[in-house]
Structure 1
């Protein structure tokens, strides 16, 4: 059974439940590290917990959620080896996997998306990395972690 790690702060509790339930329904094991109440937590801590867990291995990808998705995705992208996308629609979600080999996807629990976030997540799940010239670009992205 494929596994996914999911973490959220207090700004995305409802969306985290929707995603966890959906993923279980389609056959994923979900390691939900996020909060289940509206008590305030800091999104950088949630990003670090999920990324550290992901890096242990055994996960297909990770999902991060905060109020906008912005703070938690920025936090995740500071962690060595993580490529977290913050898509605005299904096309962007799919392209994050196809061209950038994103291993995390982020959403905002307080964002009114023009598309159902579950459909956006599906687009991400169904896409596969295309490699070839995109691998060269991903390698350059990852080299940036070492250059600064």
Structure 2
């Protein structure tokens, strides 16, 4: 009995405190079954529901990426094959998503790759098998004995390799800054020609630094940015014009003019209206991205109704 109790305590320590879950139509039923199992283990679940595999995979990845590394937050995604959702979850820094079709896959993914987003197949995995996969993934710490290590502790040289991989892997894919940030002269931008923002009519932008992203942005009077959010928070300073920002996540409105500053936290959904030709400088805490939470016509309608 004492060994059983100790094993249960060890599992509880290994398990994440929160799981962010989502699926497409082919994985929804399996996702719901796994959420029920997670809840039976007293693990907090944030269910993002059902959407296209690329949208829900990206959203789970974004939220896991934005979570603090020590917050105990992981992700669970499901689609027909388990592959598509994993591909798009992996587009975010610090996300290591793996498609697991067996419990052995999950053991290896946790031990070798420190997998923090589990992707499962709604078409080829039964609910009972998926629960076994999920349990293995929940209870296996990084570098634990696994099938790939013949169920033995990793040898010292391989253990060091795995430790180093956690430092090296996040660097892959990051664009090196084109400028020496220690030299202010190298960061001067003389060309103020801006490029249109295809996804938002009336907007144009010039990226002046790649990582973290900084940019000069202009919008024509009357332009509207539909409700959207970013992986990273951003600071902005208005240099010309006038705009309003509605932070829908916090229920706040900010009216900004020349010289005004605003910080919007990562993940906060916000909508923007430009009353004059407006130019502002914006700096994200990481790379620039944009995820829409409504279409343009809905945004305009909400602003016109005064319920923005």
TM-score bracket relative to the smaller structure: 0.7 to 0.9
For residue 84 of structure 1, what is the aligned residue in structure 2? 97
Q: Which of 145, 168, 193 lines up with 1:140 in the alignment?
A: 168
- The runs of at least 4 aligned residues of structure 1 exceeding 6 Å deviation read none
Higher gyration radius (CA): 2
Distance 1:108 1:20, change over 3 A: same
Whole-angstrom CA distance in 1 between matches of 2:38 and 2:121: 18
Contact 1:69 1:106 in 2 (8 A): yes
- Structure 1: 5+ residue runs without aligned partners? 36-40
User: Are positions 1:68 and 2:68 aligned together?
Assistant: no
Contact 1:66 1:108 in 2 (8 A): yes
For residue 209 of structure 2, what is the aligned residue in structure 1? none
- Structure 2: 5+ residue runs without aligned partners? 1-15, 144-158, 177-308
Contact 2:17 2:73 in 1 (8 A): yes
Whole-angstrom CA distance in 1 between matches of 2:95 and 2:112: 15
Whole-angstrom CA distance in 2 between matches of 1:139 and 1:56: 18
- Higher strand proportion (structure 1 or 2): 2
TM-score normalised according to structure 1 size: 0.86
Partner secondary structure for residue 146 of structure 1: coil
Aligned residues between the structures: 142
- Higher helix proportion (structure 1 or 2): 1
Offset of residue 112 of structure 1: 3.8
1:116-131 → structure 2 map (5 Å cutoff): 116-130=129-143
For residue 50 of structure 1, what is the aligned residue in structure 2? 60
TM-score normalised according to structure 2 size: 0.43
Offset of residue 31 of structure 1: 0.3
Distance 1:54 1:132, change over 3 A: same
* Root-mean-square deviation over aligned CA pairs: 2.1
Offset of residue 59 of structure 1: 4.3
Whole-angstrom CA distance in 2 between matches of 1:23 and 1:120: 12
Contact 2:61 2:90 in 1 (8 A): no
